[in-house]
Structure 1
Amino acid sequence: MQVFNDPQASADDIAAAAGEDFLLVLYGGKSDGSLDKQRYSTYTRTIAKKPVHAQFDLATLPPTSTAGRHHSYISCIPPGAAVARESS
């Protein structure tokens, strides 16, 4: 987690990094990895266990790093903040 030691890191960068680590651990990955690598690893393990004709549910995969970062931004915004920005 180099972002915590970076004096130039913004609060958004730190929240996104912490959110990605949280999602990574939630989906069974190691906190020093990335969501994209965990997504690929989960995909290959799941496909290897299924027969060729079986359907695959993408919702079972972890989100991408970009989606995880977006989710972290959204979940860190206080409930009225978005409305206050639009009205000003």
Structure 2
Amino acid sequence: MVGTLSGHDIVLTHGDISPRSIIVRDGKVVAILDWEMAGYYPEYWESVKALFRPVWEKGWEKDRAVVRALQPYLTDLAVFLYVHSVGAW
């Protein structure tokens, strides 16, 4: 299971992308705010973090915005959800 999380490229990423961090004007993204969590992370990190949200922040999942905007790393997400469910966090 942990092997799933290995073998990914390390990339510069926002680290906390969500609708509240994206400014859209006339249907185009014009700014991305809130960069204090940015850093070099495995390529799956942004997608997993965007989908790994508390229930009250899951509004953008109904539009499948995360999977449309970011490559979905669903296997990696499943590992994170499993580890979280057994109380490792």
Q: Is the strand fraction higher in 1 or 2?
A: 2
> TM > 0.5 between the two?
no
Larger gyration radius, structure 1 or structure 2: 1
TM-score of the aligned structures, taking structure 1 as reference length: 0.29
